[in-house]
A = this chain, B = another copy of it.
Amino acid sequence: MDTRQMAWFVALGETLHFGRAAERVHMSQPAFSRRIAELERDLGARLVERDSRNVSLTPAGARFLFDAREVLARFEAACRDARLVALGEKGELRLGFMMHAAHRLVPRLAGLYAERRPAVRLILEETTPAEIEVRMRRGELDAAVTFLGRPDPALEALPLLRDRLRLAAPEGHPLAGRERIRPADLAGEALIAAPASTAAPLREAIEGWCAGLSTPPRFAYEPRLQQTILRLVAAGLGVALVPGSICDDRIPGVASVALEAAPQLDVVLLVARAGANPAVAPLVELAADFRGG
């Protein structure tokens, strides 16, 4: 028993005429009669009353006609939606992103994406670069905005922007008034930075810049979120090296200072190379435009 039988019966229910219904479904009348009889046999219920002059629906037939229309509509919709999802026109797109990107990058991306694919539900998951790596590999994310990390053959990294590290210091701190600082200026300072297990590329950039120091910097606090780091700086608990874009909006109580030979961090859009979710395609295009603009 299948939906074709339903479609045949709907044709019959609408015409109440075997010949015309058969014609509508591109079948000969005898074949059509047999299919309807077969449907009734399978169902174990008489659906039409035929007295060789006119055809009428039984109560069961009327009910089945009504239900069949709905089932067929949903069937068609399911097939259409599968196609749309395959084309990336509909469905879901899980976009992971690190907190740094939440300020400007992700909102802009999300807005532009929604214009191109209004029917795709964009699921935003804020997390950390380390988590992103794991979840991308497991296929739990379709794409992610993160720092460029170790190259992965299965993942493609599309550059979005390049960020320079800056110093974030409490207002009134001796370094806060400087035009530009060198690694040596950090001697004895309490540093605040996320641990490598949260954002390896960022941590490596920080430690790399400090590598020249005779006494290695002291990491006083290691919270995971950039938000927290800046709050701790504002509270005067230490200084931090942070991506410059973070300092775009002034945080009360925090001053930002340029670094000499500031390390650069690439913020990239990470997508699976073997395109799992077709809905990522417009996001990739967006990344290219983004780079240009």
User: Which A residues lie at the B interface, using CB under 8 A?
Assistant: 1-4, 6, 43-47, 49, 58-61, 63-64, 67-68, 70-71, 74-75, 77-79, 81-83, 85-87, 91-92, 276-279
Contact = CB atoms under 8 A, between A and B. Distances in A.
Contact of A45 (B83, B276, B279): B83
Copies in the complex: 2
Given A2-B4, A74-B74, A60 B82 contact: yes
A154 to B, nearest CB: 13
A55 to B, nearest CB: 14
23 contacts: A1-B79, A2-B3, A3-B3, A3-B75, A6-B78, A43-B82, A43-B86, A44-B86, A45-B86, A59-B85, A59-B86, A59-B91, A59-B279, A60-B85, A60-B91, A60-B278, A63-B85, A64-B81, A67-B77, A67-B81, A68-B78, A70-B78, A71-B75
A47 to B, nearest CB: 7
A82 to B, nearest CB: 4
Given A2-B4, A3-B75, A75-B3, A82 B70 contact: no
A253 B6 CA distance: 61
Contacts of A279: 59
Contacts of A86: 43-46, 58-60
A67 B81 CA distance: 9
